[in-house]
A and B are shown apart, each in its own frame.
Chain A
Amino acid sequence: MASSHDADTEGITRRKSLAALAGAGALALAGCTETEGEDGSDGSDGSDGSDGSDGSDGSDGSDGSDGSDSLSGSINIAGSSTVFPLMSAVAEDFAADNPEVSIDISSTGSGGGFSNFFCVGETDFNNASRPIQPEEEELCADNGVEYVELVAATDALTVVINNDNDFATEMTVDELSQIWQSDAAELWSDVRDEWPDEEIERFGAADTSGTYDYFVENVMGEDGHTDDYQATEQDNTIASGVEGSEYAIGYFGFAYWFQNQDQITPVAIDNGNGPVEPSLETASSGEYAPLSRPLFTYPSIESLGEEHVAEFARYFVSQTTNEDLVAGDVGYVPATEETQEEQMGILEDAIEQAQG
Chain B
Amino acid sequence: MATDTDTARIEGFGEVSRVRGIIFEYLSLGASVLGIFALAVLLVYVTIDAFDLAGTSPLWLLTYFVTLVVPFLAFCLYSARDREVTRRAVTVAGGGLVAVAAVFTAIETFVGQIPRLNWQLAYLFVVVAPLTGYLVYMGARGRPGAVGFGLVGRLIGGAAIGLAFSVLFLVFDERLWFLAYTLGIVPGLFAYAYGQLRNSSTAVTAALPVSLVGVVLAVFVRDVLRTYPTTTFIYLWTLAIPIAAAGALVVNARGSRTAALAAGGVPLALAAVVGLFGRAIGLGVGGPNALLVIALAGVPVAVYLHRVFDVGEGVTGLGLPVLLVGGALAGALVVETFGIPTPNSWVSGTFLTEAPSRNARDAGLYPAIVGSVIIIAMVAVLSFVLGVATSVFLEEYTADSGVVGALTRLLQINIANLAAVPSVVYGLLGLGLFANLLGFGFGTAVTVSLTLSLLILPITIISAQEAIRSVPDDLRRGSDAMGATRWQTTKNVVLPEAFPGILTGTILALGRAIGETAPLIMVGAATTVFSAPSSLFSKFSAMPMQIYAWANFPQAEFRYGVVAAGVITLLTILVGMNGTAILLRNRAERGS
A residues near B (Cβ < 8 Å) are 2-4, 6-7, 9-11, 13-14, 17, 21, 24-25, 28-29, 31-37, 43-44, 47-48, 51-54, 56, 74, 76, 78, 81, 84-85, 88-89, 91-92, 95-96, 99, 102-108, 116-117, 122, 233-236, 255-256, 258-260, 329-331
Contact = CB atoms under 8 A, between A and B. Distances in A.
B223 A56 contact: yes
A53 B554 contact: no
A24 B358 contact: no
Contacts of A29: 229
9 contacts: A7-B196, A13-B257, A33-B230, A36-B226, A36-B228, A53-B535, A78-B524, A88-B358, A258-B554
Interface string B509-546: 00000000000010011111111011111110100000
A168 B549 CA distance: 32
A161 B534 CA distance: 47
Interface in B299-336: none
B228 A33 contact: yes
Interface in B248-274: 248-249, 252-253, 257, 260-261, 264
Given A17-B264, A235-B552, A35 B226 contact: yes
A54 B223 CA distance: 10
A236 B222 CA distance: 51
Chain B interface secondary structure, helix, strand, loop or mixed?
mixed
A48 B556 contact: no
Given A102-B534, A104-B526, A28 B554 contact: no
Contact of A260 (B229, B356, B554): B554
Given A107-B549, A259-B556, A32 B527 contact: no
Q: Which 7 A-B pairs have the closest CB atoms?
A: A104-B526, A95-B530, A259-B554, A28-B233, A104-B539, A53-B537, A89-B358
Given A10-B252, A88-B356, A92-B356, A76 B241 contact: no
B158 interface: no
B288 to A, nearest CB: 11
A102 B529 contact: yes
A34 B442 contact: no
Contacts of A76: 442, 526, 539
B257 A9 contact: yes
B227 interface: yes
Nearest to B533: A102
Contact of A256 (B442, B530, B535, B554): B554
Contact of A33 (B229, B260, B536, B539): B229
Contacts of A44: 170, 173-174, 534-535
Which range holds the interface residue count of chain B?
Answer: 35 or more
B236 A24 contact: yes
A234 B558 CA distance: 14
For B174, B355, B530, B553, the residue with the greatest tally of chain A CB atoms inside 10 Å of its CB is B530
B279 to A, nearest CB: 14
Given A32-B230, A92-B356, A51 B537 contact: yes
B61 interface: no
Residue among B196, B257, B264 with max Cβ neighbours from chain A (10 Å): B196
B552 A234 contact: yes
B490 interface: no
Given A33-B227, A104-B529, A106-B443, A7 B197 contact: yes
A37 B226 contact: yes
A81 B237 contact: no
Given A85-B358, A106-B443, A236 B197 contact: no
Nearest to B551: A236
Contacts of A53: 535-537
B585 interface: no
Contacts of A31: 233
Contacts of B493: none
Contacts of B525: 106
Contacts of B199: 4
B552 A236 contact: yes
Nearest to A12: B257
B401 interface: no
A32 B233 contact: yes
Contacts of A2: 196, 249, 253
B11 to A, nearest CB: 56
B466 to A, nearest CB: 29
A235 B228 CA distance: 52
A52 B536 CA distance: 11
A256 B559 CA distance: 12
Interface in B349-367: 355-359
Which of B182, B245, B528 has the most chain A CB within a 10 Å cutoff?
B528
Contacts of A329: 358-359
B233 to A, nearest CB: 4
A17 B248 contact: yes
A255 B554 contact: yes
A236 B237 CA distance: 52
A330 B257 contact: no
Nearest to A55: B223
A35 B257 CA distance: 40
Nearest to A4: B196
A259 B521 CA distance: 27
A56 B219 CA distance: 11
Contacts of A258: 554
Contacts of B173: 44, 54
A89 B531 CA distance: 14
Contacts of B285: none
A84 B355 contact: no
B92 interface: no
B446 to A, nearest CB: 9
A32 B521 CA distance: 44
Contacts of A122: 442, 524
Contacts of B245: 17, 21
Given A36-B228, A76-B539, A25 B248 contact: no
Given A92-B358, A95-B355, A122-B442, A13 B534 contact: no
